[in-house]
Each structure stands twice: as structure tokens, then as C-alpha cells.
Amino acid sequence: MTKAIVFPVNNKGGVGKTSVLTDLVTVLSRTHETGVIDFDHQASLAMTLTQDRSIGNQELDYYADTQTREIILQEGTSFNFSDAMRTLTIGIEPSKTRVSVFPVGMLYHYPPAVRKLESILNEDFRAADIIGVDLPPIPDPALILDYSLKPVISVIKDIELFPIVVVTPEQNTMEIGLSQFNSVYRYLRSLGVPEDRIHPILMINKLRLQRTDSGTAFGFMAHDLERLSTHGLVEDKYDDERFRDISSSLPSEFKAKGLLYHVSWLPYFSHTGDDPEARFSFYFGTKPAIFHYPVLLDLVQSEGYLKSEHITSEGQIFAHQMDSVASHIAQVMQLTAKPFYTTNTTRKNIAEVQSRLGMNLEEGRRLVFERWEQEPGSESYRVWNLDEITVQEWGEKKGITLIKFQEVHCHQR
């Protein structure tokens, strides 16, 4: 069975290699079988995912007996959307993967440990379509990849490689990432990996968005575009506006030093959650929200339950971009997605709705007049939360002139 190997590349620190890999594996794990191998002796990725701080920086013989662990990358949940006459319930399966730690030094010092790696790949990850690989810095491919990717390739044999060259708009991170991948590419070709089995992805991380006063993102900051233009990613000439249309500013493909990259990008976040010290991922460690699932968000919006302005702009864009990368990998691999959600729509009994509406109308009328008695000089009143219906009232002292019912109501359970 052909397996995809996904691994980030760039020796420059702070570009987001580990977080990008975690988020990508989380999205891929919804619809495909996945696994993760942490080849770094520090095991920072594996420690975060398993919530076990003891598995990093151990003596090498410790890892000979460690077991692959199944972990939940994102919890399952359900969303419930309701209006006056119907309810839409969406059930989400958890996103799971299997995680193993296998430091590069295992094979460097103990070549027979290859049997442990074979066991991980052939048994623990037997059902996996996609394997995410986290690597230590790569000063020279032969120093690191000889004891990580090379044996993985030799064990699996039938593979497709997806190197994720993670960069930020700063010029030196682009130069370091692209230059490093060129050496990695030459190394992979020297192993006999066919050219058409290597699918590099240029991931431009932390692009800053220009936003309207209401918070809606509509373009990139000019300074970031200027930096990207030095590499030919955007046109050298563009108008003096401080933004570009985010749907057309960046190409889908980019050629650098003779290599063709699939291009994707992610927006800049000041942090990825309410507690920036506890979270490094857009998905892992966060409570599932509807905008984490673009296909479901589109479904809910098409049914009229939500409007796009109700969604955090950076979060919605991030999820769409990450889904597009996952879809690109699945398409190249010709993988069939497994279902990860269920939907159920129910219609409410019209007699019950009318009865409840009448009771709420009467209750709203009573509350309005009680307020008028307390504050005789007041001329307008609004927003009473009554049962499932929000009532807005406007009126004059002598009586109600208009009552408007806002019937769209959403909550998560």
C-alpha cells in the first residue's frame, strides 16, 4: 500500500514547523488513517501530543521498549442549530492518530534498532495512509536523514513524499528554507526516489492580514507583499493600496532554483488560543468550533443558520487553507475520504411553536409594561431572552407599536 510521508523543512527557528505539521495531521486524521513519528531526541512534538513530559531526552535504550500510543488530536463534539421550525444536529468524530518516538541516534548508535522501526511502520502504522515525520534540524541531509527518512523509505518502499518547506515573509527564512530543501531534494534523488514521487509544498506562514473596521479580513499587509515580491512570489509592481485580494495575491505554484512547489499560506495569529503558553496549534488543545470544519461551516451557512460575519476571520481563513493542503495531499495520493460527521434535521411541531410563541408574546408584553411602570419616562425597550425566542420590543407609553421576533438561535453542546 502506498503511503505518504509528510515532513517539515527549514532550519530557521520560529517559522512554525511543528505547529504546521500538527495542524495538518489533525485535519488529515479526520478523513484518513495517519501516524506520527518524532525523530527528534527532545521529542517536543510527541510530549505535547501525548501530554507525557517523561518521554523526551531519555537514554537511547529507553526507546527500544516504548510503545506507539493512540491519541486524540481533536475531541469529538456535536453542534446543534435551531430556528423556529427546524433543528440541525451535526455529530463530529474525534480526530485520532498514533504517535511514536524514535530518536535519530537509535540507528546511528544501534543499527539493529532498525527492527524496532520496521515494527512501527509495518505493524503500528500498517493501516496508515499518511505518516507525519518530525525531524531535528538538518545541518546536512546525510547527518540526519540517513538515520530517519532513508530507513523509512527503505522499509515502506512504495511512498510519496510531501516535504513542507515552512517559511515566513522575512527574506532570510525564505532563503534558508528554499536552499535547504534543494540539498534535501538532491539527497532524496541520490537514494533513487523518483522525481515524480517528491511533491514539495511551500507553506508561507504568519502572513499578516489587512482588516476592515468590523474585523473582516480582505487582503495582505503591503510590507509582507513587498518581502515576498523579492522572491518573485508576487508581482514587483502593484498599486499603493495597503492590501491585495487574498484570493488572488499568491500563485498556486512557484518555481525556485529549478524546483516546482505547490504554494499555500496561513494567516498570522498573535496566539492560537486563550492561553498562548499552553497551546501551539490551531486545533490541538482547543475546543472544537464550527469554523474548524470549513465543509460544515459551508453547510450551516447554506441552511441559513449562520452568516459569514459571525466567524472569526483569521480562524475561518486558517481552517480553509489547512483543509486545502490536506485536500492537495489526498488528491495526489488518490485517497478516498472516510466520513467524519453525521447530520440530522428535524422539523418542529407547528402547533407547539405557535403555542410557545403566544406565551412568549404575552410574557414579553407583560415585561414591557412592568418596565414602563417602573420608568414612566422611558420610550423604548429592547432584548428580552424568553425561552428559545429573543424578543425585541419598541413601544410608546400608551401601548406596543411593534414586536419583532428574532428566531435564529444557535448553541453548542
pLDDT of residue 279: 56
Check pLDDT > 60 for residue 160.
yes
Indicate whether 376 and 325 sit together in one domain.
Answer: no
Give me the percent of the chain exceeding a pLDDT of 70.
79
Q: How confident is the model at residue 360 (pLDDT cuts 50, 70, 90)?
A: confident
pLDDT (tens digit, 9 = 90+) per residue, 116-151? 999 999 999 999 999 999 999 888 999 999 999 999
* Predicted pLDDT at 401: 38
Contact 190, 19 (CB under 8 A): no
5, 145 in Cβ contact below 8 A? no
> Residue 377 — pLDDT band, cuts 50, 70, 90?
low
Per-residue confidence (pLDDT) for residue 275, from 0 to 100: 46
Count of domains in the chain? 2
Find out whether 191 and 248 touch, Cβ atoms under 8 Å: no
Least confident segment among 208-217, 263-272, 285-294, 337-346: 208-217
The answer to whether residues 287 and 391 belong to one domain is no
Q: Is there a single domain that holds both residue 18 and residue 95? A: yes
In terms of domains, do 354 and 340 share one?
no
Confidence (pLDDT) at 404: 43
pLDDT at 297 > cutoff 60? yes
Last residue of a domain, one of 320, 345, 370: 345
Q: Mark whether 59 and 84 lie in a shared domain.
A: yes
How is residue 331 written as a grid cell?
Answer: 488528491
Residues 6+ apart with CB under 8 A from 256: 178, 202, 231, 232
Q: What is the 3-state secondary structure (H, E, C) of the chain?
A: CCEEEEEEECCCCCCCHHHHHHHHHHHHHHHCCEEEEECCCCCHHHHHHHCCHHHCCCCHHHHHCCCCEEEEEECCEEEEEECCCEEEEEEECCEEEEEEECCCHHHHHCHHHHHHHHHHHHHHCCCCCEEEEECCCCCCHHHHHHHCHHHHHHHHCCEEEEEEEEECCCHHHHHHHHHHHHHHHHHHHHCCCCHHHECCEEEEEEECEEECCCCCEEEECHHHHHHHHCCCCCCCCCCCCCCCCCCCCCCCEEEECCEEEEEEEEECCCCCCCCCCCCCCCCCCCCCCHHHCHHHHHHHHHCCCCCHHHCCHHHHHHHHHHHHHHHHHHHHHCCCCCCCEEEEEEECCHHHHHHHHHHHHHHHHHHHHHHHHHCCCCCECCCEEECCEEEEEEEECCEEEEEEEECCEEEEC
Domain boundary among 306, 328, 345: 345
Residue 91: per-residue pLDDT: 96
Could you tell me if 339 and 358 lie in one domain? Answer: no
Residue 14 reports pLDDT greater than 70: yes
Do residues 280 and 232 both lie within one domain?
Answer: yes
Rounded Cα distance between 168 and 268, Å, is: 10
Selected residue with higher pLDDT from 410 and 294: 294
343 φ, ψ to 5°?
A: -125, 150
Spatial separation of the C-alpha atoms in residues 141 and 109, rounded to whole Å: 18
pLDDT higher than threshold 70 for residue 69:
yes
Do 275 and 172 lie in a common domain? yes
Q: Tell me: do 372 and 225 sit in the same domain.
A: no
pLDDT of residue 245: 66
Give the domain CATH number at 298.
3.40.50.300
222 in the same domain as 119: yes
CA distances from 323 to 30, 289, 293, 308, 330 (A): 11, 15, 8, 18, 10
d(CA 191, CA 196): 14
Check residue 398 and give its pLDDT. 39
State the pLDDT at residue 411: 37
Whether residues 146 and 63 share a domain: the answer is: yes
Please report the pLDDT score of residue 395 as a whole number.
Answer: 43
pLDDT in tens, 28-63: 999 999 999 999 999 989 998 998 989 999 999 899
Specify the pLDDT at position 311.
54
Q: Which of 72-76, 176-180, 373-377, 396-400 comes out lowest in average pLDDT?
A: 396-400
Chain segment 304-359, per-residue pLDDT in tens: 888 765 555 788 889 999 999 999 999 999 999 999 999 998 877 667 666 766 77
Q: Is 90 exceeded by the pLDDT of residue 161?
A: yes
Q: 53 is in which domain, residue-wise?
A: 3-345
Q: Which of 312, 329, 345 is the last residue of a domain?
A: 345
Report the pLDDT value the prediction gives residue 11, as an integer from 0 to 100: 84
* Cα–Cα distance for residue pair 284/328, rounded to 1 Å: 22
The residue ranking higher by pLDDT, 413 or 84, is: 84
Q: Give the model confidence (pLDDT) of 215-258 as tens digits.
A: 666 678 878 888 888 888 887 555 545 456 676 678 899 999 89
Residues 258 and 128 in one domain: yes
The proportion of the chain whose per-residue pLDDT surpasses 90, expressed as a percent, equals 51
**pLDDT tens track for 166-182:** 999 887 888 899 999 99
22-26, 108-112, 253-257, range with greatest mean pLDDT: 22-26
Identify the pLDDT of residue 229: 83
